[in-house]
C-alpha cells in the first residue's frame, strides 16, 4: 500500500478526489491522523498513479508498504509503541500483569479482587461489566453499575482498569470509567466498534478473534489506528482447534509473529487461551520468555463461586505466586538476552 505524508487534511482530500478514478476500490480514501501527522493511505495502484502523486503539491513523502496493515507494521515504525494505561506503560520492556475476575459480580467481590490483584503485584485490574455470553439466559454483566464498582475498587487500591466494550453505543460510557477499553474475541471483526474506538481517547486492548489469522488481527488493529487512535495493545487469547483438551489453543508463536510484524505491544491471555488453571502458570512464563509485553489472567477471590469462567480463574494466592515467578523470570532474562540489543527487542529478531 501507499502511505502519503501530506501537509494537511485539505491536501489529503484533494489528493483523494484527484486520484479516485485511478483506484479500483469503489470509494475515496479518507485522511488519517496519526500522532500529529496527516496521512493518506492508498492501494498500491499503477505506475501512473505513483507518478501523479509524486508531483502533487502538499504531498511530502510517499512510502510503499508491502503489508495490508501499513500503519501498524514495523515497516512503518520500527520501534515498539509504548502504550500508557493510567500510571502503567505497556511495551517498555518489562512484562505487565493484568489480572482480575471474568465478571464484576458485586461490590464485595470486586473489592476483594482489586485488593488481591494489588497485593499480588499485578499492574492493571481487569473485570467485565458487559459480558458477551454464548447463551442469552446466562449472566450478562452488571452494565454501568458494574463499571462504577470496578472503578471504585480500582481507585481504592490505585490500579488502572481495563474492561470490555461490546457496542459502539457503549464506547462513551465505558470510556468514562475505564483506563483502557477491551475489544473481546467475538468483536474483533465488529468494524463499527473498531471505528468508534478511533476517537474514544483511551487505549484499546484488541483481542484476537478466535478464528482470525494474524494478518486479519493486524488489519483489525489498523481499523482503530486509521480511525485516529494509535494506542492499541494486541492480546492473543487462543484460537479454535480440534483438540478440546484445552478450551482454546494458545497460539504463542502467533503472538510473537504479531510482535515481529507490528510495532504494537502484545500481551497473552493464558486463562482463555487454555481454560485450565494448571496451564496458566507454565504458559505465562512461556509468554514472557518468548518476549511478549505482558500477560492477562483471570483471578477470582473465590473461583468456585464465580458467575462465569471459574474453572480457569486463579485464586489470589496462585496469582501472587505467579506474579513473583514472572518478575523473577523477567529479571533473570537480562543475561539470557545479553548482547547488543535491549531485552524487549528479542521477540523481534532471532539472531
Of 48 and 192, nearer to a copy of itself (C-beta) is 192
Contact 264, 232 (CB under 8 A): yes
- Give 23-29's long-range contacts (Cβ < 8 A, gap of 24+): 23/49
Q: Which of 7, 17, 18, 25 binds a copy of itself (CB under 8 A)?
A: 25
Q: How far is the CB of 245 from a copy of itself (least distance, A)?
A: 5
Q: Smallest distance, Å, CB 35 to a copy of itself? A: 17
Which among 130, 194, 191 is positioned nearest to 162, based on CA atoms? Answer: 130
Q: Give CA–CA dist 348/321, Å, rounded.
A: 29
CA-based nearest residue to 234, from 250, 221, 246: 221
Q: Who's near 334: CB < 8 A, 6+ residues apart?
A: 343
To a copy of itself, the closest distance from the beta carbon of 269 in angstroms equals: 12
Minimum CB distance to a copy of itself, residue 7 (Å): 21
Instruction: Decide: helix, strand or coil at residue 162.
Output: strand
Residue 349 in grid coordinates: 529478531
By CB under 8 A, what part of segment 309-328 binds a copy of itself? 318, 321-322, 325, 328
Out of 49, 157, 173, 276, name the contact with a copy of itself by CB under 8 A: 276
Residue 164 interacting with a copy of itself (CB under 8 A): no
Which residues 186-205 are close enough to bind a copy of itself by CB under 8 A?
A: 186-187, 189-194
* Residues between 55 and 74 with contacts to a copy of itself, criterion CB under 8 A: 68-69
Q: Within positions 246 to 275, which residues make up the interface with a copy of itself, using CB under 8 A?
A: 246, 249-254, 256-257, 260, 270, 273-274
In terms of CB distance, is 114 or 256 closer to a copy of itself?
A: 256
What dihedral angle (degrees, nearest 10) is formed by the CA atoms of 311, 312, 316, 320?
Answer: 150
Amino acid at each position: 500500500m501507499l502511505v502519503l505524508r501530506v501537509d494537511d487534511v485539505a491536501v489529503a482530500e484533494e489528493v483523494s478526489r484527484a486520484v479516485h478514478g485511478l483506484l479500483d476500490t469503489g470509494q475515496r480514501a479518507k485522511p488519517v491522523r496519526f500522532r500529529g501527522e496527516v496521512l493518506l493511505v492508498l492501494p498500491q495502484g499503477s505506475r501512473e498513479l505513483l507518478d501523479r502523486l509524486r508531483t502533487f503539491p502538499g504531498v511530502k513523502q510517499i512510502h510503499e508498504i508491502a503489508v495490508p496493515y501499513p500503519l501498524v507494521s514495523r515497516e512503518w515504525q520500527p520501534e515498539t509503541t509504548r502504550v500508557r494505561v493510567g500510571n502503567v506503560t505497556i511495551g517498555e520492556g518489562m512484562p505487565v500483569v493484568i489480572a482480575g475476575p471474568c465478571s464484576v459480580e458485586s461490590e464485595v467481590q470486586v473489592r476483594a479482587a482489586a485488593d488481591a490483584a494489588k497485593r499480588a503485584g499485578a499492574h492493571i485490574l481487569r473485570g467485565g461489566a458487559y459480558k458477551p455470553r454464548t447463551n442469552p439466559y446466562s449472566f450478562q454483566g452488571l452494565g454501568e453499575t458494574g463499571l462504577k464498582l470496578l472503578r471504585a475498587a480500582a481507585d481504592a487500591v490505585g490500579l488502572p482498569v481495563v474492561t470490555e466494550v461490546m457496542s459502539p453505543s457503549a464506547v462513551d460510557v465505558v470510556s468514562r470509567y475505564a483506563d483502557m477499553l477491551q475489544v473481546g474475541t467475538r468483536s474483533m471483526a465488529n468494524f463499527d466498534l473498531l471505528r468508534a474506538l478511533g476517537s474514544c481517547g483511551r487505549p484499546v486492548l484488541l483481542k484476537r478473534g478466535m478464528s482470525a489469522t494474524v494478518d486479519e488481527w493486524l488489519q483489525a488493529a489498523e481499523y482503530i489506528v486509521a480511525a485516529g487512535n494509535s494506542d492499541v495493545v494486541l492480546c492473543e487469547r487462543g484460537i479454535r482447534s480440534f483438540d478440546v483438551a484445552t478450551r482454546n489453543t494458545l497460539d504463542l508463536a502467533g503472538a510473537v509473529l504479531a510482535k515481529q510484524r507490528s510495532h504494537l505491544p502484545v500481551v497473552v491471555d493464558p486463562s482463555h487461551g487454555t481454560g485450565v488453571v494448571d496451564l496458566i502458570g507454565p504458559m505465562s512464563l512461556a509468554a514472557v520468555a518468548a518476549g511478549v509485553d505482558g500477560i492477562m489472567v483471570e483471578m477470582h477471590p473465590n473461583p468456585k463461586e464465580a458467575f462465569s469462567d471459574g474453572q480457569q480463574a486463579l485464586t489470589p494466592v496462585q496469582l501472587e505466586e505467579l506474579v513473583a515467578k514472572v518478575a523473577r523470570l523477567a529479571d533473570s532474562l537480562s543475561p539470557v538476552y545479553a548482547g547488543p540489543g535491549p531485552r524487549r527487542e528479542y521477540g523481534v529478531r532471532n539472531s
